[in-house]
Chain A
Amino acid sequence: MPPIVQVENVSKIYRLGKTEVPALRDVSLEVHPGEFLSIAGPSGSGKTTLLNLIGCVDTPSRGRVRVDGRDTLELSERALTDLRLHRIGFIFQTFNLVPVLSVFQNVEFPLLLQGGATKTERRDRVMKLLEAVGLHTHARHRPSELSGGQRQRVAVARALVSRPALVLADEPTANLDSATGENIIDLMREMNERDGTTFIFSTHDARVMAHAHAILKLADGRLVGREELPAVVEEAR
């Protein structure tokens, strides 16, 4: 199978006034379908930047990012948006649910943007996912009525509802206590194993990163190593 993500010699430089701040320096990596990867590194090491480039929310200053075989530099804003809508799911550090919509509507939202699905199809998909994340009884609640962990579960359901090839999660556990955080990672891993969806999440919590298949280590904008964690996987099971 071809890799779902190819990052080739990518650098990303932000300009702050006259000074150039390099966020990523010459990073190359490949992600294959079904992987469950963690990006680890201290604050400012470039984790978020790397995820933004992979998530087609940003484009590299140098080098190439291919997602699903398509070079993000060659795509228009509209095509990038479409790529995100159909191939990528997002889970955010601050959950980012639409406050005026119910849990059900929040999860349904990407399907509405995609169009194509009938009302019953949408309901089935949404309810099945809510059941999978354990929130089917909370479908009519507003996000503000849920705990942080519950909100992040809704976000996971929303990220998966469009059946994306790739789900990106930037510090998904940072705003949760460690037990809830580990629950969320387990939920993500469950989904990864059930549907084969590729997951890439960033974290600086060693206990959380231990749940991944492999850890990509970033420091100072450089990829400093890839650590496979088969044992941990075994142990977790």
Chain B
Amino acid sequence: MRLRADTAIMLRIAVRNLFAGRAKTLIIGGIILIGAALVVVGSSLVDSVDRGMRASIQGSLGGHLQVYDERSKDPLALYGGMMGESVLEPIEDFAKVKSVLEQVPNVKQVVPMGIDQAMVATGNQLDVALEKLRQDVRERLGGDHSPELGRRYEAHKAHLRRMIGILREDLAQARVLADPNGPDIKEMIRNADALKRASEGAFWEDFDRAPLDGLEFLENRVAPLAMEAGFTFVRYVGTDLEAFFRAFDRTQVVEGERVPPGHRGILLGKWYAEEWLKLKPARLLDKIKTARDAQGRRIARDEELSRWVREASGQLREVSLQLDPIQAEEAATRLRRALGSEERELPKLLAALFQVNDDNFDRNYRIFYDELAPLLRLYMIRIGDTITIKAPAKSGYMNSVNVKVYGFVQFRGLEQSGLAGVMSLMDLMTFRDLYGYVTREKAAEIARIQQRSGARAVSRENAEAELFGEASGLVGQGTAAAIDDSKLLVPRTEAELQDQQDRSYSQEEIDSGVALNAALILQDPGKLRDTARDVEAATRAAGLHLKVVDWQEASGLVGRFVTLARLILWVAVLIIFLVALVIINNAMVMATLQRVKEIGTMRAIGAQRRFVLAMLLVETVAVGIVFGLVGAVVGVGGLWAIRAAGGIPATNDQLYFFFSGPALLPTLGSTSVAIALAIVIVVSVLSGLYPALLAMRVTPLEAMQAEE
């Protein structure tokens, strides 16, 4: 009763005072309102990004937990770090790790991984043309003398001669620019001679008589001179492909097929293929189309789009060079018909096709894909090709492996994201070969070499006796045995390599060997922390040197984005509320000083100090709660408005990944409103405390002062 009666009067006085000082109340309230709205909108946005990223990372590569060797120099960074790929100590025996981790409760799956970058030899236009000619020669030597093959043979020869001509011009230009006394000049002259020979009529007359000799010269002396990029970089994860597809159900093969179970093979990232392997003008057309269709941009009004149009037009030689004379004639015919043009020359027709503007873009885009694309090799690497991948192995040498491309792969929801889409999936055996880790096959090969060369394992303890003791063959035998390299380095035959391509590996073979890290998929992701602790305990008990990190930590810089965004948000919130604190404090101190007499009177009449303290606090807290609530409602409304407007569009690759889709549709964070109100209350209590303490110290004597 007592409490209710004087609390009521306290509230009444507070509210009436607030209304009496409307301007002051509105200023204080406005700041609190903005702060609360910012907290609600900001924390909801960050939470939504957090969810989006969680989905992106967990569904594409991260899983829930990751383990890697704790002795690694760098931390694991699934999406690459600031200084390129992180250097991890290998997990020597993945099978053991797997068996230990699978015993931990709540662990559903353990997926081995090894992430790295390598060079891919893509071949160049000259190689492709040579390959066609070689095919023709083979068929002719096989006894085919049909006029159709004859025409094709001539066309392919002409195509090659044209390319050599262009190459010769390029090289002549390079020679003009080169230092005539430089170290490379001799090499340049030799190359120029080779090209001169290959351009002359006499060479091609000889070619008809002895085509194999001619091909050998072209392949060994001319093809390496082609200056266009013969390789590109690929970022891949070597993994147990079957396990990977089970663990990451966002993974989709968009073209081609999955690598057959247990086989070697690679699935190239779809986005990577588009961005790096696709014919440049075609890729530019695609990008313009996306920009126009999805983002409503227009070539006429957009500097970037018109630059892309110019870029595409500048790279048409890549298109025409691909076409041999027969194909070129066909392409010209098709373009004349589709464009309704009288033009004879293919380059001019191509130029017309790529002279796109907002009016003809959709038509020309269609013409390109319907008429021209079937004649072209759109991607430098095609599905079904066997590609050569090179990477520096652990030993420091370059290792290279051949691996078949089975298809293009992408992660559902992350199709447009470079961060996720650049990733290619490779089988674990190929990864081990490439990275220079000793697979069982390699171990067997080394054993074979050792046996043939007579090498013996020499341990450190008895090295002296072994090498220089009585029994040592080295002592007293001055003549060195001739070592026949060719016998030692057993070259793998085509057949052996083919065998490797075709054979299937058992689960045991896939598991036993090296991996760099492993993703853990949990039954119940909600118990991530507990499971991480369990995993750590289990690995320690098993004597494994593993570091356990969650998906966020494992994703390196990318994973820190949410933390960073959150930090920025809270710094902004902190600043706003610090300002609010100062302003509210000031205003309330002023108000208190104006009310000294009133407060003194209350004290004289019999109000206790704590009544005065509470009365003043109620005033600021009431402002805080009322305007905090309004601010929260404004924030919720703001979120609703953002959703209604279609969300925040992901304008670049990174945002696409963070949003886990083309736009961020923010949802109200479950705790956002509660946090906003809690902050508002804390801030209003803090800012009201000092003036309230001042008021509490007002004595009843103040009431007795005569002057008003």
Residues of chain A having any CB pair with chain B under 8 Å: 48, 51-52, 55, 57-58, 77-78, 81-82, 84-86, 90, 92-94, 96, 98-101, 105, 108-110, 112-116, 118, 158, 162, 170-171, 174
Q: Which residue of B lies closest to A83 (CB)?
A: B606
A-B contact pairs, 17 of them (CB 8 A): A52-B704, A55-B700, A57-B604, A57-B699, A81-B609, A90-B605, A90-B703, A94-B706, A98-B598, A99-B20, A99-B598, A100-B16, A108-B9, A113-B606, A115-B2, A158-B605, A171-B706
CB distance from B610 to the nearest CB of A (A): 9
Which 6 interchain pairs have the tightest Cβ spacing? Answer: A85-B606, A115-B2, A100-B16, A96-B601, A57-B700, A112-B5
> Cβ of B609 and Cβ of A100 under 8 Å apart?
no
Q: Is there a chain A Cβ closer than 8 Å to B263's Cβ? A: no
Q: Is the CB of A170 within 8 A of B704?
A: yes
With both chains docked as a complex, state the minimum distance between the C-beta of B530 and any C-beta of chain A, in angstroms: 52
Report yes or no: A101 in contact with B700, Cβ–Cβ below 8 A.
Answer: no
* B708, A105: Cβ atoms closer than 8 Å: no
Chain B residues within an 8 Å CB radius of A96: 597-598, 601, 703
Q: A57-B700, A58-B701 are in contact. List 13 more A-B contacts (CB 8 A).
A: A57-B699, A57-B704, A77-B609, A81-B609, A82-B606, A90-B703, A94-B708, A98-B602, A101-B9, A101-B16, A112-B5, A112-B9, A115-B2
A118 and chain B: residue at smallest CB distance: B1
Q: Which of B576-626 contact A (CB under 8 A)?
A: 597-598, 601-609, 611
Contacts of B704 in A (CB 8 A): 48, 51-52, 57, 92-93, 170
Q: Which of B9, B601, B606, B608 has the most CB of A within 10 A?
A: B606
What are the residues of chain A within 8 A of B2 when measuring CB–CB? 115-116
Q: Are the C-beta atoms of A101 and B12 separated by less than 8 Å?
A: yes
B607 lies within 8 A of A113 (CB): yes
Q: CB distance A98 to B604 under 8 Å? A: no
Contact A84 B606 (CB under 8 A): yes
Once bound together, how far apart are the Cα atoms of A101 and B603, in whole Å? 16
A101 touches B13 (CB 8 A): yes
Are A98 and B699 neighbours in the complex by a CB distance under 8 Å? no
| In the assembled complex, B193 has its CB within 8 A of some CB on chain A | no
Which B residue's beta carbon lies closest to that of A108? B9
Complex Cα spacing A174 to B12, Å: 31
Q: Contact partner of B706 among A81, A105, A118, A174, CB < 8 A?
A: A174
How far apart are A149's CB and chain B's nearest CB, in angstroms?
16
Given contacts A112-B6, A113-B606, A115-B5, contact A84 B601 (CB under 8 A): no
Number of interface residues of B (CB under 8 A): 30
Tell which of B8, B601, B608 touches A98, judged by Cβ atoms closer than 8 Å: B601
Contact residues of B between 73 and 108, Cβ < 8 Å to A: none
In whole angstroms, what is the CA distance A118 to B5 when docked?
A: 9
**Does B17 interact with chain A (Cβ within 8 Å)?**
yes
Q: How far is the CB of A201 from chain B (nearest CB, A)?
A: 13
* CB neighbours of A86 from chain B (8 A): 606
Of A94, A101, A109, A171, which is within 8 A of B605 by CB?
A109
Partner of B6, one of A78, A113, A174: A113
**In whole angstroms, what is the CA distance A4 to B2 when docked?**
28
Contact B700 A84 (CB under 8 A): yes
CA distance A178 to B160 in the complex (A): 124
Give B441 Cβ to nearest chain A Cβ, in Å: 91
Among the interface residues A51, A98, A110, which one has the most CB atoms of the partner chain B within 10 A? Answer: A98
> Closest residue to A99 on the B side, CB-wise?
B598
Q: How far apart are B138's CB and chain A's nearest CB, in angstroms?
A: 104
By beta carbon, the residue of chain B nearest A116 is B2
Q: Do the beta carbons of B602 and A90 come within 8 Å of each other?
A: no
B167 to chain A, nearest CB (A): 94
A124 to chain B, nearest CB (A): 15
CB-CB under 8 A from B603, the residues of chain A are: 81
Complex CA–CA separation, A58 to B608 (angstroms)? 15
- On chain B, the residues within 8 Å of A170 by CB distance are 704
Q: For window 616-666 of chain B, which residues contact chain A by CB distance below 8 Å?
A: none
When chains A and B are docked, how far (Å) is the Cα of A116 from the Cα of B2?
6
Residue among A51, A114, A174 with max Cβ neighbours from chain B (10 Å): A114
Q: Closest residue of chain B to A110, judged by CB?
A: B605
Q: Which residues of B contact A174 (CB under 8 A)?
A: 706
* Cα separation A90 to B597 with both chains bound (whole Å): 14
Shortest Cβ gap from A70 to chain B (Å):
15
Report A148 CB to chain B, min CB distance, Å: 11
Instruction: Identify A110's interface contact among B13, B606, B706, CB under 8 A.
Output: B606
Contact A105 B12 (CB under 8 A): yes
Measured between C-beta atoms, what is the minimum distance from B6 to chain A in Å? 5
Complex CA gap A158/B604 in Å reads 12
Assembled-state Cα–Cα distance A112/B2 (Å): 7
